[in-house]
Amino acid sequence: MELIIALDGIDKKSAVELASKLSDQVWGFKVNDLLLEEGFSIIKELRKYGKVFADPKLHDIPNTVKNSVKKLADTGVSLITVHASGGPRMIEEAVRNSSGAEILAVTILTSFSPEETSAVYGVSNTKDKVLELGKLAESAGAHGIVCSPLELELLKKGLKKVYFLTPGIRLSRDTSDDQRRVMTPKEAKDGGAKYIVVGRPITESDDPQLVTQEIIKSIT
């Protein structure tokens, strides 16, 4: 299993500094707000230290998503996210235009509580909806699925072609932030995740290298 660091909520200087420190330890780095702030130049900068996962969570008409995916793929990113709820035609268009990059479909955000899932998707059972969105994305050709580690077991049974990437990773089950459906790195590994994404437990730590080492130790 590979470890990806989410470089969220920090500026370019801190992100590049952190990436250079963790370079040898991790698969690569995920960018979201930094991509908006710095544009594609941040991808080229981070490529010096590892692979890059662009996480814009695209959700738009197929043609607009095609344009964004094409330009992102040209920068040398390895992974790009779209929302599964954007529908099959949108996902197919993303996959067709992803060149060397792989398309990951986000099912339901790991921050969603059952109440939020019900308000947004009109269902009371999060897992059923996650499986439905996962199947839709797999049939449309997505390479991987982004899901909560708590949904790995269900998705592994129901889907055959895709791999899984899980955010919502915490070193213990207690979480005081916005994440709700979380697991530890070891639990995600045992559940069959190909990649885990860890953000704040590392970026907000006083010693990011030590926390990274601890995570790696717990999964090797």
Active site residues: 57
Compute the least distance from the CB of residue 169 to ligand C5P, in Å.
6
Binding string, residues 10-49; x marks residues near ligand C5P by CB under 6 A: ----------------------x-----------------
Q: At its nearest, how many Å lie between ligand C5P and the CB of residue 198?
A: 5
CB 151 within 8 A of CB 127: yes
Q: How far is the CB of 61 from ligand C5P (least distance, A)?
A: 22
The binding track of 86-125 with respect to ligand C5P, each residue x by CB under 6 A or -, is --------------------x--xx---------------
157 contacts: CB under 8 Å, gap ≥ 6: none
Q: Quick check: 121 and 94 in contact, CB under 8 A?
A: no
Helix (H) / strand (E) element for 51: namely strand 51-58
Q: Which residues contact 119 (CB under 8 A, 6 or more apart)?
A: none
DSSP state of 183: B
- Binding residues for ligand C5P, rule: CB under 6 A, are 6, 8, 32, 106, 109-110, 146, 167-169, 179, 197-200
